[in-house]
A and B are shown apart, each in its own frame.
Chain A
Amino acid sequence: MPESQSSPADRSRVEASAGHSGSLFVAGSQAAWPICLGYVPIGLAFGVLAQKAGFSMPEVGLMSVLVFAGSAQFIGVAMWQGGAGALAIVATTFVVNLRHVLMSSSLAPYLKRCRPGFVTVFSYGVTDESFAVNLGRFRDQSWDPKRALILNQAANACWVVSTVAGAGAGQFIPERAFGIDYALIAMFLCLLVFQLRGRIYVMTGLIAGVLALGLSLLVPGNLHVVTASIAAATIGYAVRDRKRGT
């Protein structure tokens, strides 16, 4: 959706409700439901896996609270089960989660004038999913840092609860029910559509996608996300800059 096109009526509605903590909370959590739909099956699956690897329910909960990063937690538990040392697991986690640098950076312009304490709490909840949903909403101008923080925390709560539930009762829950495995992919597809605001964005997206696909086949892990994103954004930037110059 093009920016700066929300009507004055929209804006005054947002401002009128901004002071009302009840509606803030509702708006933030409501925006989180597609994320939660995706987190529940993944969280349950992680809980089951962790429990099989010898982690107790409190340990699963502790990891989900302290780390809050799906793929890193899967990898960590698998490595632990394979007998890897804590240092190797921590180093792998660092590499796997480096992509958040880019996400936090592109959220930064929307958190200007927020206090460092707020930014610190907010940054805890930056995931692939919350980043993408919040960014789409910020662009619509119908969003503010407080709602974004509530969304982060709602998604976090879903993650923690579903991983612990998976560790406790995961073996009784049927897998792959009702296409729920596809929830996050479908969500990302729609969020991608929101980002296609002109030819330069389509081009950048295509370059990033093809590059990431190629790299992901060559290199294990997920460094392809960061590498392809940086390369594609830089190419897109250069192309747009040259058009401006002429």
Chain B
Amino acid sequence: MLRSQVIWLCLGMGAVTFIPRWLPLLVLSQRDLPRWLERWLDLIPVAILSALIFPALFTRGEPRQIMILSREALVALPTFLFALRTRSLGGTVLVGMLLYWLAERFLGF
């Protein structure tokens, strides 16, 4: 069952999601970027990743409230160290999941 209202909703949501993904990539990939822009963009990934991770670790609920000693944050420390040491993406994911599961099981967080 596909309601026409829902089709329109999805088309609208799809369009406004696609455009911010598409326009910058199309415009910027077809020309040489000025040096300053490349050097600025070089710092964007580390900034975005941190901006995604910190609130995920240290806040909870909606509206968000700060929670410094969450299970997410406690597990993040050994997971981060494992990643630093091994630089293995798959290994880090598995170790993080295992530690998170153990923390819930045995530490009662």
Q: Restricting to B55-102, which residues have a CB under 8 Å from any CB of A? A: 55-59, 62-66, 72, 75-76, 79-80, 83-84, 87-90, 92-93, 95-102
C-alpha gap A185/B102 in the complex (Å): 16
User: How far apart are the CA atoms of A187 and B91 in the complex, in Å?
Assistant: 9
Report yes or no: B75 in contact with A182, Cβ–Cβ below 8 A: yes
From A100, A123, A186, give the contact of B93 (CB < 8 A). Answer: A186
B89 touches A190 (CB 8 A): yes
Q: Please determine whether B47 and A186 come into contact, CB atoms closer than 8 angstroms.
A: no
Is A169 an interface position by the 8 A CB rule?
Answer: no
By beta carbon, the residue of chain A nearest B33 is A109
Residues of chain A lying within 8 A (CB to CB) of residue B89:
34, 133, 136, 187, 190-191
Contact present for A217 and B30 (CB under 8 Å): no
How many angstroms between the C-alpha atoms of A213 and B58 in the bound complex? 7
Give the residue name and chain of the B residue nearest to A202 (CB): B46
The B interface is mostly helix, strand or loop, or mixed, namely helix
Of the candidates A179, A209, A230, the one whose C-beta lies within 8 Å of that of B99 is A179
Q: How far is the CA of A212 from the CA of B5 in the complex (A)?
A: 36
Set of chain B residues within 8 Å of A182, measured between Cβ atoms: 72, 75, 96-97, 99-101
Decide if A9 is an interface residue (CB 8 Å cutoff).
no
B72 touches A212 (CB 8 A): no
* Closest B residue by C-beta to A210: B54
Interface presence of A25 (CB below 8 A): no
Please, what's the 1-or-0 string for A117-135, where 1 marks a CB less than 8 Å from any CB in chain B? 0011011101010011101
Cβ contacts under 8 Å, B33 to chain A: 108-109
- Say yes or no for A183: interface residue by CB 8 A criterion: yes
In the complex where A108-B29, A189-B76 touch, is A62 in contact with B2 (Cβ < 8 A)? Answer: yes
Interface size class on chain B is 35 or more
| A126-B64 in contact (CB<8A) | no
A160 in contact (CB, < 8 A)? no
A97 to B17 Cα, complex, angstroms: 6
Q: Do A90 and B25 touch (CB < 8 A)? A: no
Q: A182-B97, A204-B46 are known contacts. Are A106 and B13 too (CB-CB below 8 A)?
A: no
Q: How far is the CA of A69 from the CA of B13 in the complex (A)?
A: 10
Most buried by B among A111, A131, A182: A182
Query: Across the interface, do A120 and B26 meet the contact criterion of CB distance under 8 Å?
Result: yes
Interface centre among B14, B49, B57 (most CB of A within 10 A): B49
Whether, in the assembled complex, B107 has its beta carbon less than 8 Å from a beta carbon of chain A, the answer is no
Q: Which residues of A contact B55 (CB under 8 A)?
A: 212-213, 216, 224
Would A212 and B16 count as touching, CB distance under 8 A?
Answer: no
Interface centre among B21, B41, B57 (most CB of A within 10 A): B21
Listed from nearest, the 9 A-B pairs whose CB atoms lie closest are A186-B96, A179-B101, A66-B14, A108-B28, A209-B54, A212-B51, A182-B100, A209-B50, A179-B97
User: Which residues of B are in contact with A by a Cβ distance under 8 Å?
Assistant: 1-3, 5-18, 20-30, 32-33, 36, 38-59, 62-66, 72, 75-76, 79-80, 83-84, 87-90, 92-93, 95-102, 104
Q: Give 24 pairs: A residue, B residue, CB < 8 Å, sorted on A.
A: A37-B93, A56-B1, A67-B13, A72-B13, A86-B8, A93-B16, A98-B20, A104-B25, A105-B28, A109-B29, A109-B38, A116-B26, A179-B96, A179-B100, A182-B75, A186-B92, A187-B89, A189-B83, A211-B51, A212-B50, A232-B51, A233-B43, A234-B40, A237-B39
